[in-house]
Amino acid sequence: MRSWLGFGGSVLTLPFLLLIYNQPLVFLPIISVHLLVFAVLTIHRSHRKQSANDHVTESSVNWKFLRYALLIMIIPKIIGVLGLVVLPTTIMNTFIFGLIFIYAWSYIFDRQFKSQSKLGQGLLLMLGGYVSGASLMAAPLVASVFASNIRRHQLRDSMLALWFVLVSIKLIAFIWVGVDLQLVHHLWLFPCAYIGHLLGLHLHDRMLLKHPVHFYRLLGLALLTASSMGLWTTLS
């Protein structure tokens, strides 16, 4: 499931993992490394497909808008990482489950976090930067901004390139403060993630052809259930 949708896999993964063991710093290094690997593989696949089509000259990554977004998100990202490392686990779990609770309702009612103004989009990117640092679950906040400013077929790869940079910063911070990266667990989880990665590539291609409202509503109900259980367990 980690890389099933191409991006946004942390929203699907983290709440269920925290119901099993409520320590974000145990799972985030694993999710981060998987994201780095599969981001590179996905972008490389897109570039190979483009090379095979002589008439395709546009990159699958919008580098210009990516640089613009990174300039806005980088400082909030660092603040979010510091909060993840320093703040008590109970506070971080409450933040994560509360955020997923909000995401779930947005999926159920098909309401995206979006703004047409430059100021509003900048605020969404800043908030996304902080959420990415604290939990790696910023895709619902950032995706709408990217979707409003770049072509649809560039959305996935541009966001994966963004996550690659942001996740690299997070992993460097983890290494700096001595967080266990759980490297031994990466080996046996990679085959599972790779299967999800292949399924996600096919699903993404189909999602480009239509708007899967019913799928996201079911996803929202699942996330609402998981986040409600997580908030109840954490607060009690």
Dist CA 74 CA 70 (whole Å): 6
pTM as predicted = 0.82
* Each residue's pLDDT tens digit, 148-192: 888 877 887 888 889 889 889 999 999 998 888 888 887 788 887
For residue 97, the one-letter residue type is F
pLDDT value of residue 208: 56
Provide the Cα torsion 220, 40, 199, 153; round to 10°: 70
Cα separation, 140 vs 107, in Å, equals: 9
Query: Which regions of the chain are under pLDDT 70?
Result: 1-9, 50-58, 201, 203-212, 215
The predicted pLDDT at position 6 comes to 44
Amino acid 17 reads: L
| d(C-alpha 146, C-alpha 152), whole Å | 9
Q: So what's the pLDDT on residue 2? A: 46
- Whether the CB-CB separation of 209 and 14 falls below 8 Å is answered with no
User: Is-contact 213 110, C-beta < 8 A?
Assistant: yes
- pLDDT attached to residue 9: 64
